[in-house]
Amino acid sequence: MQKSDFFLSSYDYDLPQELIASRPAEGRINSKLLIYNSKTDEVIHAHFYDLVKYLPHDALLVLNQSKVFPCRLNGKKPSGGKVEVFFLTATADNEGFYRVLIKSNGKKKIGDTYLFEGDLTVTISDIREGHFYVSVNITDLISYLDQYASIPIPPYIRGGESDDQDKLDYQTVFAKNIGSVAAPTAGLHFTQEIFDQLKNDCGIDRAQVTLHVGLGTFAPVKTDDIREHDMHSESYFVESDQWKKIIAAKKKIAVGTTSLRTLESIWQMGTDKLQTDSVYDTNIFLHPGVDIQSIDALITNFHLPKSTLLMLVSSLIGREKTLELYKIAVENEYRFFSYGDAMLILR
């Protein structure tokens, strides 16, 4: 540990614009895979379809099965002005309201109504701590959003403008529980075929957790000392049959930072205190100085400079080693961020 490990400026790196992936690799398993063995300090360049060669036998993959829902709607005010409503939650709260972001000109107030294709009406019902809570005039909002809303890709992918192809690309093949506004991107590389191969050749099973990814995952760190960062909160739960597999596994491989945050939240709370099928909130912030106890390996993508996700990777292998590996990835033209290539860290 060094004092500089807590400086935000220490997590910056240079990335050529052309290495930011705007589309995934053709064929999910054809992305490149950088493998780092922290015990031997060995770096290997491979592809995701080579994964079976490098994972420990009889390990357990832990995946986040949260499903991204189309949540961005463009509509009009009664006056004809444009409005964008971004649903942050897929289900209504106890009062029947949905938490949203609203982008339009002019001041917004309770009672304001917006009109959308397919006869949807959205009305501001409450404003709390700067957040808008709305009611809608339909009972099955999810079906409506599936038909009319766009998928919420990050702003660094084609300026955040999604299309119908993103509804397929920006979703894991094992997604199940609706609730995320951003994909657990490490899972995007998997196919059923590679799951079958890992099971048949290596005895590698899988278990699912659910952590609904919120917009906070993109929130920048604004404090010079990263320890002062106000980490966003996200909800998670683990089904009882999946928890039995996780707790019994001798080696656990987290697929993605959200799976790791879920597991580490449980480990820090105490594994004996988890009530399966109950929903918990976590604002856990993993960075150098935090001892990761829950996993033996991590599969993850390459993350933005100065991001909490880059700091999470640094908590596993150190900041200097992380930036060294990122430099190697740039030199070897790996593709970065949500639609980019993957990294396997073996502890």
Q: What whole-number distance in Å separates Cα of residue 261 and Cα of residue 286?
A: 8
Question: Are residue 83 and residue 57 in the same domain, yes or no?
Answer: no
Question: Are residue 302 and residue 206 in the same domain, yes or no?
Answer: yes
Question: Are residue 320 and residue 340 in the same domain, yes or no?
Answer: yes
For residue 38, being part of any structural domain is answered with yes
Q: What whole-number distance in Å separates Cα of residue 310 and Cα of residue 285?
A: 11
For residue 160, being part of any structural domain is answered with no
For residue 97, being part of any structural domain is answered with yes
Question: Are residue 234 and residue 262 in the same domain, yes or no?
Answer: yes
Of 98, 118, 148, which one is at a domain's C-terminal end?
148
Question: 137-140: long-range contacts at Cβ-Cβ below 8 A with a sequence spacing of 24 or more?
Answer: none
Helix (H, G, I), strand (E, B) or coil at 79: coil
Helix (H, G, I), strand (E, B) or coil at 72: strand
Of 98, 113, 148, which one is at a domain's C-terminal end?
148
For residue 179, being part of any structural domain is answered with yes
Q: Which residues pair with 301 in a beta bridge?
A: 342
Domain that holds residue 214: 3-68+166-346
CATH number at residue 144: 2.40.10.240
pLDDT of the chain, 347 residues: tens digit per residue: 899 999 999 999 999 999 999 999 999 999 999 999 999 999 999 999 999 999 999 999 999 999 999 999 999 999 999 999 999 999 999 999 999 999 999 999 999 999 999 999 999 999 998 889 999 999 999 999 999 999 999 999 999 999 999 999 999 999 999 999 999 999 999 999 999 999 999 999 999 999 999 988 889 999 999 999 999 999 999 999 999 999 999 999 999 999 999 999 999 999 999 999 999 999 999 999 999 999 999 999 999 999 999 999 999 999 999 999 999 999 999 999 999 999 999 99
1, 8, 55, 126, 229 from 130: Cα distances, Å: 39, 27, 46, 10, 20
Question: Are residue 181 and residue 57 in the same domain, yes or no?
Answer: yes
Q: What whole-number distance in Å separates Cα of residue 211 and Cα of residue 262?
A: 7
For residue 89, being part of any structural domain is answered with yes
Question: Are residue 105 and residue 61 in the same domain, yes or no?
Answer: no
For residue 217, being part of any structural domain is answered with yes
Q: What whole-number distance in Å separates Cα of residue 65 and Cα of residue 240?
A: 15
For residue 153, being part of any structural domain is answered with no
CATH number at residue 172: 3.40.1780.10
Question: Are residue 38 and residue 85 in the same domain, yes or no?
Answer: no
Question: Are residue 63 and residue 190 in the same domain, yes or no?
Answer: yes
Domains contained in the chain, number: 2
Question: Are residue 183 and residue 107 in the same domain, yes or no?
Answer: no
What pTM, to 2 d.p., does this model score? 0.96
Sign of the CA dihedral with 97 first, then 99, 102, and 107 last: positive
For residue 155, being part of any structural domain is answered with no
Q: What whole-number distance in Å separates Cα of residue 90 and Cα of residue 140?
A: 11
Question: Are residue 63 and residue 77 in the same domain, yes or no?
Answer: no
